[in-house]
Chains A and B, each alone.
Chain A
Amino acid sequence: MNDRPILHVTGLRARVADEDSDILNGVDLAMRRGQIHAIMGPNGSGKSTLAKVIAGHPAYEATAGSVAFQGEDLLEMEPDERAQAGVFMAFQYPVAIPGVSIANFLRTALQARLEDGEELDLFDFQELLMERMELLDMEPSFAQRHVNDGFSGGEKKRNEILQMAVLKPALAVMDETDSGLDIDALRIVAHGVNTLKAENPDMSVLLITHYQRMLNYITPDVVHVMVKGRIVESGGPEVALGLEERGYEQYRRMQVA
């Protein structure tokens, strides 16, 4: 049972809806429960597109292939259904929701997971929220701020991690592509992922990153290199180290051939 991949992507092609050419040109990826996979690649390689297709962003459409999550066909599901099934995407650039506190936002997200007619107990929620914030060394007052409204880059990351901690996904997709994360933001993400992973070893993490330095903080089981919409190499952490030495150039040439 444990051998069945939690995420199984086969032959996935995808594009921005209404455009002519695919960005993903046949992606194959299998993650087992509890694994951390890193996807690395140069700008425009399609790694962030992969994250968005997995989460169900409406601006992208899959044109071929499949994405199975715990055996279910993700591509047939709405974004909210995917979230409820246990997929979480930490956004690279999360948008602001003015006037909505983080606490209210999370309460609504948890309430949405309940059956019709069932009410989330407010005291239970408050307790959960406080416990989660304590786990991540966050000030309780943070939950009263409006979602991403006027947040610094680091605060946005903190908010994404807090949501992940409260929603407890089976699969977390961390979309960090190309973002100029400063060292603080990097540490927030890494500390959050490592803490939650330690708490729940069964959680799987798909870490999308441009830079090897993220992997100084989070140790992946598998590293994939994506170039031009395809995974061109997969291996252990040594793949990332090789990248740091030689860059993406080697793969670009490989693709041309």
Chain B
Amino acid sequence: MPSNEVIQGLGLDDYKFGFVTDSEPVFRTRPGLDADIVRQISARKDEPEWMLKRRLKALRIYESKPMPQWGGDLSELQETLDQTYFYVKPQEQMERSWDDVPENIKETFERLGIPEAERRILAGVGAQYDSEMVYHSLKEEWEARGVIFDSIEDGLRNHPELFRKHFGTVIPAADNKFAALNSAVWSGGSFVYIPPGVQLETPLQAYFRVNQERLGQFERTLIIADEGSRAHYIEGCTAPVYSTDSFHSGVIEIVVNRDAFFRYTTIQNWSNNMYNLVTQRALVQQGAHMEWLDGNLGSKLTMKYPSCYLMGEGAHGEIMSIAYAGDGQHQDTGGKVIHVAPNTSSSIVSKSISKGTGRSSYRGLCKVYDGAANAKSNVECDALLINETSRTDTFPYIEIDEQTASVGHEATVSKVGDEQLFYLMSRGMDEAEAMALIVRGFIEPIAKELPLEYAVELNRLIELEMEGSVG
């Protein structure tokens, strides 16, 4: 069909947020990683002794664990890690108000459309620029209600007992190689505490951005939703293009206490030379409800499987994810639901799109332990292939040790059909517009769960991705 040259000629396939603002870091460690660097990071943050010990122990675990041999291709990762700056501190102190944010950083946010988003929603905005929070505002009302929404560093400093009680309990350093790495060098991220019974209508939003070449970003987030509370946390990020490989390895720990409701939404759009290896997990207690809403675009390789450990009776977990794999990209994503207690329920809905030579894999685990009577789980994964060269795989792991459990799994693979394209084009849309509309329809069941401006941004990113993808 038509006019591929024309579309490609527009050069819209370039990474949209591939600009670099000129910001000189105040301090950074030398490339590579050893105990000395871990000590420097801890000293810079003025941390208590126990945290330094934890970091050093995590480093030893990291060094002792082999590179994973499953999922995506990590064979060139070590080379990247050797060149990575494990800690970069762009500014000396945290900013509290928008006026205090330096101009060049504002400019970056402006180009990402952040001030507008902020004006519109105006909830609390914690924005992470490089490894530190530079901008962090929180509605006064929330403070009055006892909600804590801090940088992870401030969480440790200002709420040491609460912090220490939960830190590393959901995802211990020994969980996997990259959780260990994060536990050794973590920097930046959020600390959130929602007191019992507090229900937040407006979402908590963090926006962060990796802006330092070869900067490894190891954000660490710890969230505790106490009994009967209700909240929604949104994190979106986008990174600029660099020639060398970058690396991002976050750890997100969430505790959802009895009868609480928590939703964690992420839209990640990394530049396509980024390794994105993230561990995110929630412990869901009796009668509590946890939802992960996860959108993964960009990166060279993403390995990310949000999980819900359903620990208490009647706990419910949901994982909804969208993955978009463009040329040369591999999205190895999915979810894990672990049923430990009776009458727990879960659902995973995963939608992936592969374009060009892109590859998306669904990798999921549903485990039901003996004694988790009447556990129910349903998994649905749908893959959409744009081109002949696109690829998708499904790796569903199901382990059931409980007779009364009921588990369903459904997978579909579809291709954008010539008849669909012709139908839309016969109504006046060009091929790229038609393709984008089909893709938007495909992800609609998940996109409709997003706050409006995130859904709009997601649609816009997909439109840009579809330009030049056609043919």
Measuring CB to CB, which residues of chain A are less than 8 angstroms from any residue of chain B?
55-59, 78-80, 82-84, 88-89, 91, 94-95, 97-100, 104-105, 108-110, 112-113, 146-147, 163, 167
Contact = CB atoms under 8 A, between A and B. Distances in A.
B107 interface: no
A98 B441 contact: yes
Contact of B423 (A91, A99, A104): A91
Interface residues of B, number: 27
Contacts of B427: 80, 83, 88, 105, 109, 112, 163, 167
B429 A80 contact: yes
Given A91-B423, A95-B420, A58 B428 contact: no
A99 B445 contact: yes
B422 A108 contact: no
Interface string B418-451: 1110111111111101100110111111000000
B3 interface: yes
Contacts of B437: 97, 100, 104-105, 108
Given A78-B3, A105-B437, A108-B433, A97 B426 contact: no
A79 B425 contact: yes
In the A-B complex, the 8 residue pairs with the closest CB atoms: A99-B441, A99-B444, A100-B441, A83-B428, A79-B425, A109-B427, A80-B425, A78-B2
Contact of A95 (B3, B419, B433): B419
Contacts of A112: 427-430, 433
Contacts of A167: 427-428
Given A108-B429, A108-B437, A97 B444 contact: no
Nearest to B429: A112
Given A83-B425, A109-B428, A97 B441 contact: yes
A111 B84 CA distance: 46
A59 B423 CA distance: 13
Nearest to A173: B426
A113 B428 CA distance: 7
Contacts of A147: 441
A59 B426 CA distance: 14
B427 to A, nearest CB: 4
A62 to B, nearest CB: 16
A80 B428 contact: yes
15 contacts: A55-B426, A59-B418, A78-B425, A80-B430, A95-B420, A97-B423, A98-B442, A99-B442, A100-B440, A100-B441, A108-B437, A109-B429, A112-B428, A112-B430, A112-B433
Contacts of A56: 422, 425-426
Q: Which of B422, B443, B444 has the most C-beta atoms of chain A within 10 angstroms of its own C-beta?
A: B422
Nearest to A80: B425
A108 B459 CA distance: 13
Contact of B426 (A79, A108, A146): A79
B26 interface: no
Contacts, number: 84
B452 interface: no
Interface of B: 1-3, 417-420, 422-431, 433-434, 437-438, 440-445
Contacts of A113: 428
Given A95-B419, A99-B442, A89 B433 contact: no
B441 A146 contact: yes
A236 B48 CA distance: 96
Contacts of B418: 58-59
B453 to A, nearest CB: 16
Given A59-B418, A79-B425, A83-B425, A97 B430 contact: no
B393 to A, nearest CB: 22
A163 B418 CA distance: 20
Given A58-B418, A78-B2, A95-B423, A84 B442 contact: no
B43 to A, nearest CB: 52
A58 to B, nearest CB: 5
A97 B422 contact: no
Q: Which of B426, B429, B431 has the most C-beta atoms of chain A within 10 angstroms of its own C-beta?
A: B426
Nearest to A85: B428
B428 A97 contact: no
A55 B443 CA distance: 29
B466 to A, nearest CB: 13
A104 B442 CA distance: 14
Q: Which of A56, A80, A84, A94 has the most C-beta atoms of chain B within 10 angstroms of its own C-beta?
A: A80
A155 B427 CA distance: 18
A57 B438 CA distance: 18
A112 B436 CA distance: 12
Contacts of A79: 422, 425-426
A97 B433 contact: no
Contacts of B431: 80
A99 B351 CA distance: 13
Nearest to B418: A58
Contacts of B423: 91, 94-95, 97
Contacts of B445: 99
Nearest to B434: A80
Q: Which of A79, A82, A109, A163 has the most C-beta atoms of chain B within 10 angstroms of its own C-beta?
A: A79
Nearest to A91: B423
A220 to B, nearest CB: 23
B422 A57 contact: yes
A98 B444 CA distance: 9
A79 B441 CA distance: 21
Q: Which of B417, B422, B427, B429 has the most C-beta atoms of chain A within 10 angstroms of its own C-beta?
A: B427
Given A99-B441, A109-B428, A112-B428, 15 more contacts: A58-B1, A80-B426, A80-B429, A83-B425, A88-B427, A89-B426, A97-B424, A99-B440, A99-B442, A99-B444, A100-B441, A100-B444, A109-B424, A112-B427, A167-B427
Contacts of A88: 426-427
Contacts of B441: 97-100, 146-147
Given A78-B425, A79-B425, A99 B443 contact: yes
B137 to A, nearest CB: 31
